């Protein structure tokens, strides 16, 4: 295993609060909400009528929205990193994604005729279609993997990319995630699970992680990408190093399909594994971008996990899902991009709508207003249905000796 640092030389994001990293960052720092009434379909009559949509992307179905999101976020990340001077078989791709749902008119056609649609429909809706698309776009011939672990998908995809770099399998990795869930079938399914906020009269107040009045998460859409390289190679080609990807840990709760263990032990195990992987102590972490979904179940469980690991040391914590909703398979990557901005700019984005902190979520919150803080190491959590947990650590470049 190589002990050389793996650095981030490009980031890209398109989110409900910004068409690129700059605008997304400005919005989360300023506490802007990207949650509005649903426009992708007529949501009248559904128990949930709002979501975190991206206005500028108007694809006809989930697969085409995914492609547009990839287009925007990948272009930004690659423009930032500059040309990657490596052999195509030494550039890998690892993305977090899920299968896309077909458009309703296509579904109707299939049901009417009880027959199969076009091959292309099947292929473009597949879970691994985004990773294949990225590989094609960048001309990658290296390992190409799709991680599908629900809300943990892209956190694990970024982590797998880090491990591949350390093993010397590749010279560069394009990692990230994409998801586009705002459709009638997903709203139906998730609302039946009782997982979504139903604050229909106040969409911008609906996502309120750690607040006593939270009532569920808000479906969102978006994409995030990071370009990973070895430090020496990045320096040799004169690339600007944005941050170091210093640690990754993952675990499984082995608890219940829908719930997190109340004591937060599985999440704590992932956080500890990431710290160990990065060679850091809990006291080294200055900021945590929490999974913070705004569900009654997740937030106290995550709070206990954080307190279990960090004890007396109370790093600042916020959940940017309060601004941009839950991007599901893309959330881990987008929130890793936020952490890159945190260590670069020394500003912590707030949890908005945090009016009354739930006593069961006793953390050092960045409450409603951003905070200036020179953060050396930021940690981001992602936890998924089924009990998958992933934690990543992003460090300010050159903040570590040796």
Task: With CB under 8 A as the rule, give the number of residues binding another protein.
Answer: 80
Q: Strands 371-372 and 347-348, how do they pair? A: antiparallel
Please give the positions annotated as active site.
151, 291, 326
Q: What would the two tokens of residue 93 be? A: 């791709």
Q: How far is the CB of 90 from another protein (least distance, A)?
A: 8
Q: Strands 144-147 and 91-96, how do they pair? A: parallel
User: Closest Cα partner for 67 from 219, 180, 185, 184?
Assistant: 180
Stretch that binds another protein, among 27-35, 62-70, 152-160, 205-213 (CB under 8 A): 152-160
Q: How far is the CB of 104 from another protein (least distance, A)?
A: 5
The yes or no reply on residue 1 touching another protein (CB under 8 A) is yes
Q: How far is the CB of 332 from another protein (least distance, A)?
A: 13
CB atoms within 10 A of CB 86: 16
Compare residues 82 and 117 and give the one whose CB is closer to another protein. Answer: 117
Compare residues 200 and 399 and give the one whose CB is closer to another protein. Answer: 200
Q: How far is the CB of 171 from another protein (least distance, A)?
A: 10
Straight-line distance from the first to the last Cα atom of the chain, in angstroms, rounded to the nearest whole number: 16
The yes or no reply on residue 295 touching another protein (CB under 8 A) is no
User: Closest Cα partner for 383 from 332, 333, 319?
Assistant: 332
Say which residue the tokens 């309120």 belong to. Answer: 208
Compare residues 186 and 226 and give the one whose CB is closer to another protein. Answer: 186
The yes or no reply on residue 286 touching another protein (CB under 8 A) is no
Compare residues 45 and 359 and give the one whose CB is closer to another protein. Answer: 45
Q: Identify the helix (H) or strand (E) that includes residue 219.
A: none
Contact 24, 56 (CB under 8 A): no
CB atoms within 10 A of CB 388: 23
169 to 208: interface string for another protein, x by CB under 8 A = x--------------xxx-xxxxxx---------------
Alpha carbon distance 229, 241 (integer Å): 9
The yes or no reply on residue 220 touching another protein (CB under 8 A) is no
Among 86, 200, 255, 368, binds another protein (CB under 8 A): 255
Say which residue the tokens 């599985």 belong to. Answer: 266
Q: 379 pairs with which residues across the strands?
A: 288, 393
Compare residues 160 and 221 and give the one whose CB is closer to another protein. Answer: 160
- Within 379-398, which residues bind another protein (CB under 8 A)? 384-388
The yes or no reply on residue 147 touching another protein (CB under 8 A) is yes
The yes or no reply on residue 267 touching another protein (CB under 8 A) is no
- Within 12-71, which residues bind another protein (CB under 8 A)? 41-47
Say which residue the tokens 């604050």 belong to. Answer: 199
Q: What would the two tokens of residue 301 be? A: 């469980």
Alpha carbon distance 389, 268 (integer Å): 9
Contact 351, 210 (CB under 8 A): yes
Among 26, 30, 31, 126, binds another protein (CB under 8 A): 126
Compare residues 250 and 363 and give the one whose CB is closer to another protein. Answer: 250
The yes or no reply on residue 273 touching another protein (CB under 8 A) is yes
The yes or no reply on residue 128 touching another protein (CB under 8 A) is yes
The yes or no reply on residue 319 touching another protein (CB under 8 A) is no
Contact 337, 160 (CB under 8 A): no
- Within 341-370, which residues bind another protein (CB under 8 A)? none
77 to 116: interface string for another protein, x by CB under 8 A = ------------x---x---xxx----xx-xx-xxx--xx
Q: Which DSSP string corresponds to 324-354?
A: H-B-GGGHHHHHHHHHHHHHHHTEE--BTT-
């Amino acid at each position: 295993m190589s002990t050389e640092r793996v650095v981030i030389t490009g980031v890209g994001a398109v989110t409900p609060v910004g068409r690129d990293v700059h605008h997304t960052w400005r919005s989360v720092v300023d506490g802007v909400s990207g949650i509005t009434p649903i426009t992708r379909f007529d949501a009248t009559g559904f128990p949930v009528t709002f979501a975190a949509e991206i206005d500028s992307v108007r694809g006809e179905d989930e697969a085409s929205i995914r492609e547009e999101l990839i287009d925007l976020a990948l272009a930004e990340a690659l423009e930032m990193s500059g040309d990657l001077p490596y052999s195509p078989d030494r550039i890998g791709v690892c993305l977090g994604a899920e299968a896309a749902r077909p458009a309703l008119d296509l579904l109707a056609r299939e049901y009417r005729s009880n027959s199969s649609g076009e091959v292309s429909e099947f292929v473009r809706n597949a879970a691994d279609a985004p990773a294949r698309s990225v590989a094609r776009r960048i001309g990658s011939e290296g390992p190409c993997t799709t991680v599908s672990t629900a809300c943990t998908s892209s956190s694990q995809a970024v982590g797998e990319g880090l491990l591949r770099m350390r093993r010397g399998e590749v010279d560069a990795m394009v990692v990230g995630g994409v998801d586009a869930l705002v459709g009638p079938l997903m709203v139906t399914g998730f609302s039946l699970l009782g997982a979504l906020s139903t604050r229909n009269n106040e969409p911008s107040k609906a996502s309120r992680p750690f607040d006593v009045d939270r009532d569920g998460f808000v479906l969102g859409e978006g994409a995030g990408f990071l370009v990973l390289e070895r430090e020496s190679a990045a320096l040799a080609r004169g690339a600007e190093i944005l941050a170091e990807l210093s640690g990754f840990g993952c675990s499984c709760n082995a608890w219940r399909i829908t719930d997190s263990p109340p004591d937060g032990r599985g999440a704590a195990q992932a956080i500890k594994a990431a710290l160990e992987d990065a060679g850091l102590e809990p006291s080294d972490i200055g900021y945590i971008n929490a999974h913070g979904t705004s569900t009654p179940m997740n937030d106290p469980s995550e709070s206990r996990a954080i307190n279990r690991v960090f004890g007396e040391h109370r790093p600042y914590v916020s959940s940017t899902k309060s601004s941009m909703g839950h991007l599901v398979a893309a959330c881990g990557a987008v929130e890793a991009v936020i952490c890159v901005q945190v260590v670069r700019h020394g500003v912590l984005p707030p949890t908005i709508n945090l009016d009354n902190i739930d006593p069961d979520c006793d953390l050092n919150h960045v409450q409603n207003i951003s905070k200036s803080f020179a953060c050396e190491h930021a940690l981001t959590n992602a936890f998924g249905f089924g009990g998958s947990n992933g934690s990543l650590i992003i460090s300010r470049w050159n903040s570590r000796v040796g």
